[in-house]
């Protein structure tokens, strides 16, 4: 793909042999903490499932450290659940609050944490993010107000979302990072920025810092990918139509409105046409998300020439051929999240996400 797009999907860039090598490593970590063999098997499977779901958001050097950290957290979660059950066994009457009261309490705590997280952003970060996410203002009009470009505003929004996720978790846990290295690592994980993860040596830090190891899970696992993934090979214009129809069907099944279905399908059309035009062959992967809300994620990958200048390709008005006139910037505006990862001579991956009910 010569004018197309980031960070991949579960399993992307990881050979089956690499993943298989994790199994004995994870088993050793779990078995050292859990005596029951059947429970060990269950926890190993749970760990590998979480690791597989997070592969697209972590760099290659992060795979083993993340697997170790995840295994530790899965075991710790088991012990917490068992300890709670043991402490409550003596009760003849269930003294737990009703589900409705519990939900109301959790909602109040969640709103408080969101408010604290927003307050930790800069004034410009907060204003721009709210204008885009709440008021629905597009990146082009925001760029005009800020004297910037739509591409720069989109990049700022991605950074603001990453920081908001980190600050929300810290506020929800009523905690502050123990060292100066923690926040840069957490931000790199939240943004799925592989280069930055390498720069801050996130792999080593997660193994050395218990705080970040425990809090990093939701940052990497966000958007749990379901296993019923639809794959469409792309080689010709007819495949573009097939990909468009497939994503529309998936979007309709999980509750997207007709207008959103059209928006998603149009974004997929724009990106997959780049595959046909510049890379000859590629693949569209369509999956649904369950967390933090329902959504659809589309990953378009190819092994084409790559994009020499991704920033230029993401500028409004830039196009190397006559598609639908939207280009990559248009596709990005149609989706809630959009990222590009491209290596010249090796290919391009575009990852797009749309959430149900988000305007």
> Which pLDDT does position 191 carry in this prediction?
80
343 vs 334: which has the higher pLDDT:
334
Q: How many residues does the chain have?
A: 359
Tell me the CA end-to-end span of the chain in Å, nearest whole number. 29
> Which pLDDT does position 94 carry in this prediction?
45
Q: How does strand 295-302 pair with strand 230-234?
A: unpaired
Please tell me the distance from the alpha carbon of residue 57 to that of residue 296, in angstroms, as a whole number.
17
Q: Do domains 99-175 and 230-355 have the same CATH topology?
A: no
| Topology annotation, domain 230-355 | Heat Shock Protein 90 (3.30.565)
290 vs 168: which has the higher pLDDT:
168
Tally DSSP H helices, then E strands, for the chain: 16, 5
pLDDT band, residue 230 (cuts 50/70/90): confident
What are 231's strand-pairing partners? 285
Percent of the chain past pLDDT 90, that is, above it, reads 12
Question: Average of pLDDT values for 220-226?
Answer: 57
pLDDT at 179 over 90: yes
Question: Average of pLDDT values for 210-219?
Answer: 85
Q: How does strand 230-234 pair with strand 347-355?
A: unpaired
pLDDT at 320 over 70: no
pTM: 0.54
Percent of the chain past pLDDT 70, that is, above it, reads 78
pLDDT band, residue 344 (cuts 50/70/90): confident
pLDDT band, residue 180 (cuts 50/70/90): very high
Q: In degrees to the nearest 10, what's the CA dihedral of 311, 137, 337, 300?
A: -60
Q: How many CB atoms lie within 10 A of CB 292?
A: 12
pLDDT tens for each residue of 48-105: 877 877 776 777 678 888 888 888 888 887 776 665 555 554 444 444 444 444 455 5
69 vs 280: which has the higher pLDDT:
69
pLDDT band, residue 178 (cuts 50/70/90): very high
* Cβ contacts of 284 within 8 Å, gap of 6 or more: 231, 232, 234, 243, 246, 247, 268, 272, 298, 299, 300
Q: What is the number of alpha carbons within 13 Å of residue 344 lying toward its C-beta?
A: 4
pLDDT at 248 over 70: yes
pLDDT band, residue 137 (cuts 50/70/90): confident
* Cβ contacts of 144 within 8 Å, gap of 6 or more: none
pLDDT tens for each residue of 253-277: 888 988 899 999 999 998 998 888 8
pLDDT at 184 over 60: yes
265 vs 308: which has the higher pLDDT:
265
359 vs 170: which has the higher pLDDT:
170
Instruction: Count Cβ neighbours within 10 Å for each residue of 175-188 and write b for 16 or more, e otherwise.
Output: eebeeebbbbbbbb
3-state secondary structure of 357: coil
> Which pLDDT does position 34 carry in this prediction?
86
Domain 99-175 has CATH 3.40.50.2300: no
Domain ranges of the chain: 1-94+202-218, 99-175, 230-355
pLDDT tens for each residue of 125-135: 888 888 877 67
Question: Average of pLDDT values for 170-197?
Answer: 88
171-185, 188-202, 208-222: range with highest mean pLDDT: 171-185
pLDDT band, residue 325 (cuts 50/70/90): very low
pLDDT band, residue 186 (cuts 50/70/90): very high
pLDDT tens for each residue of 4-52: 443 334 444 555 666 678 888 888 889 888 888 888 888 888 888 778 7
Please tell me the distance from the alpha carbon of residue 182 to that of residue 93, in angstroms, as a whole number.
43
Q: Give Cα 202 distance to the centre of its chain.
A: 17
pLDDT band, residue 108 (cuts 50/70/90): low
Q: How far is CA 199 from CA 67, 179, 205, 237, in A?
A: 20, 17, 11, 40
pLDDT at 226 over 60: no
When computed from its CA atoms, the radius of gyration of the chain, rounded to whole angstroms, is: 22
């Amino acid at each position: 793909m010569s004018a197309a797009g980031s960070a991949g999907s579960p399993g992307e860039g990881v050979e089956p042999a690499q993943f298989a090598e994790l199994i004995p490593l994870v088993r050793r970590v779990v078995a050292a903490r859990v005596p029951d063999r059947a429970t060990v098997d269950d926890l190993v499977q749970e760990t590998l499932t979480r690791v597989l779901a997070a592969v697209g958001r972590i760099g290659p050097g992060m795979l083993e450290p993340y697997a170790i950290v995840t295994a530790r957290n899965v075991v710790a979660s088991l012990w917490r659940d068992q300890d709670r059950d043991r402490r409550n066994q003596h009760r003849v009457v269930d003294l737990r609050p009703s589900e409705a009261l519990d939900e109301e309490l959790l909602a109040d705590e969640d709103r408080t944490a969101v408010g604290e997280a927003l307050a930790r952003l800069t004034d410009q970060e907060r204003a721009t993010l709210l204008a885009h996410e709440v008021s629905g203002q597009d990146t082009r009009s925001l760029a005009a107000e800020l004297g910037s470009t739509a591409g720069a505003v989109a990049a700022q929004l991605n950074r603001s979302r990453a920081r908001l996720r980190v600050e929300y978790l810290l506020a929800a846990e009523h905690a502050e990072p123990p060292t100066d290295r923690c926040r840069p690592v957490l931000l790199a994980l939240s943004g799925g920025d592989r280069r930055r993860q390498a720069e801050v040596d996130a792999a080593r830090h997660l193994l050395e810092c218990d705080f970040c190891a425990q809090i990093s899970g939701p940052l990497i696992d966000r958007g749990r990918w379901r296993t019923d993934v639809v794959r469409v090979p792309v080689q010709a214009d007819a495949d573009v139509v097939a990909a468009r129809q497939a994503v529309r069907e998936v979007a309709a099944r999980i509750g997207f409105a007709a207008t959103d279905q059209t928006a998603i399908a149009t974004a997929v059309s724009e990106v997959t046409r780049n595959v046909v035009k510049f890379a000859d062959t590629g693949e569209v992967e369509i999956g649904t998300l369950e967390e933090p809300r329902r959504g659809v994620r589309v990953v378009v990958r190819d092994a084409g020439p790559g994009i020499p200048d991704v920033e230029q390709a993401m500028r409004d008005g830039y196009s190397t051929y006559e598609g639908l006139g939207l280009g990559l910037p248009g596709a990005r505006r149609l989706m809630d999240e959009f990222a590009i990862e491209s290596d010249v001579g090796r290919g391009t991956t575009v990852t797009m996400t749309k959430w149900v009910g988000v305007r």
